[in-house]
A and B are shown apart, each in its own frame.
Chain A
Amino acid sequence: MNVRYRHIAKGFWRLLFFGVIFSQFVRAQGVNTQQVITLQVVELNKIGINLNTVNLLIDQASFEQGQPLPAENSDGTLVWTTNGDNKKITVSSNQTSPRFTLKLIAQPENNADIAAPEITLNDNTIHDLVMGVSRRSGKCRIRLNASATLSDGVGIENHVITYTITSS
């Protein structure tokens, strides 16, 4: 009988020991707390050009061609970023009936899909410049070429050139 009680007592103490160890282990698994966060990215369309003012001065002429030589500036870089889909970049001038000829030549960089490499800004219509712009940033070099004929005479002409990212 004593032996039986001794076995029961041993079993009890073993159970108690492992129970305490197990309970500590379970507790040590950790507790947690939660936060709910709300994330959103709105549609963004950004476009910019590094040269805000360009002066094109025609002051040379060619004896061979019998015309004034064009003036050119190729320092412009147009950059854009959009996270929207199916966008395009357009360009326009505010001059409705210019006397001189102003051409815009776009030279693509990093995968820009140029719609019209050369655009004559001889009215204030909107021209497609870059097509297929979706979820990316890009850039292209902008070359401006001003030319005049002898019959155009002399004078000063101002253009405000506007580049726009818009839905295609």
Chain B
Amino acid sequence: MKQILITLTLVVLSSILIETAFAQVTATQSVSLTVNTVYKIATSGNPGALTVTTGSAGTDALTSVSDNSTSYSITQNFGNTVKITANLDAALSAGYTLQLNLASSKGTSAGSVDISNATSGSAVNVVTAIAKGADASQAIGYTFSALASAGTLASTSKTVTLTLTN
């Protein structure tokens, strides 16, 4: 009887030791983290029609018109030398001028930039030295002007491409 009790005691103690030993077992995982280069730019929509409707007698330059109703947003983690360029799908005829002004809180705005002759091969800088991060809802301003000597212009659509690039 005594031997049976000793045997049972040993079994119970062994079980406790085994449980304690299992409680120290660990598992490991290797987690790989990657952040790719992110470039995002978007506009809020299209501006309203820019129509020159008046001028002054004796002055060739007609009264210019502006639109500041749209905005753009960017996000980028590439670097601090990122810029935005602008170009038209086709240049404007002589005597018509389209200027573009992009506000920026993360970069340096070039102010009003003439994009009348900027096409895909000759895009012009409108914002430079953009720092990493996001810049939301920055104003886009367009100013359209015309000379009387250029004549009238029937309603014409132009596509302006804003490119976020390094």
Are the chains A and B members of one assembly? yes
Using a CB–CB cutoff of 8 Å, the interface residues on chain A facing chain B are 24, 27-44, 46-48, 79-85, 135-139
B54 within 8 A of A: yes
- B residues less than 8 Å from A47 (CB atoms): 57
The 7 closest A-B pairs by CB, nearest first: A30-B165, A79-B58, A41-B153, A48-B57, A46-B57, A32-B163, A38-B49
Contact, CB under 8 Å: B146 / A83:
yes
Closest to B41 in A: A33
Q: List 16 A-B contacts (CB under 8 A).
A: A27-B78, A28-B37, A28-B39, A28-B165, A31-B163, A33-B72, A34-B160, A35-B70, A37-B47, A37-B157, A37-B160, A39-B50, A40-B154, A41-B52, A41-B150, A81-B62
Flag if A81 contacts B57 (CB, 8 Å). yes
- Name the residue on A nearest B42 (C-beta): A33
Q: Is B98 a contact partner of A37 (Cβ separation < 8 A)?
A: yes
Task: Determine which residue in A27, A41, A44, A135 has the highest number of CB atoms from chain B within 10 A of its CB, and name it.
Answer: A41
B contacts, CB < 8 Å to A: 36-37, 39-43, 45-60, 62, 67, 70, 72, 78, 92, 96, 98, 140, 142, 144, 146-166
Q: In the assembly, what is the distance between CA of A34 and CA of B159, in Å?
A: 7
Contact B148 A40 (CB under 8 A): no
In the docked arrangement, what's the CA distance between A135 and B49, Å? 23
Known contacts A38-B156, A40-B50, A85-B151; decide if A137 and B59 are in contact (CB<8 Å). Answer: yes
How many Å lie between the Cα of A33 and that of B126 in the bound state?
A: 14
Which applies to chain A's interface (DSSP): helix, strand, loop or mixed? strand
In the assembled complex, the Cα of A138 lies from the Cα of B60 at a distance in Å of 9
How far does the alpha carbon of A43 sit from the alpha carbon of B146 in the complex, in Å? Answer: 12
> For A29, what are the chain B residues with a Cβ–Cβ distance below 8 Å?
165
Which residues of chain A come closer than 8 Å to B142, judged between CB atoms? 37
Give the CA-CA distance A19 to B157 in the complex, in Å.
41
* Interface contact A33-B162, CB-CB below 8 Å: yes
A87 to chain B, nearest CB (A): 11
A36 near B158: Cβ-Cβ < 8 Å? yes
Asked if residues B149 and A83 are in contact (CB atoms below 8 Å), the reply is yes
Q: Is the CB of B151 within 8 A of A135?
A: yes
* Contact in complex: A135, B156 (CB < 8 Å): no
Q: A34-B162, A81-B148 are in contact. List 8 more A-B contacts (CB 8 A).
A: A28-B78, A31-B163, A35-B159, A38-B158, A39-B98, A41-B151, A41-B153, A81-B58
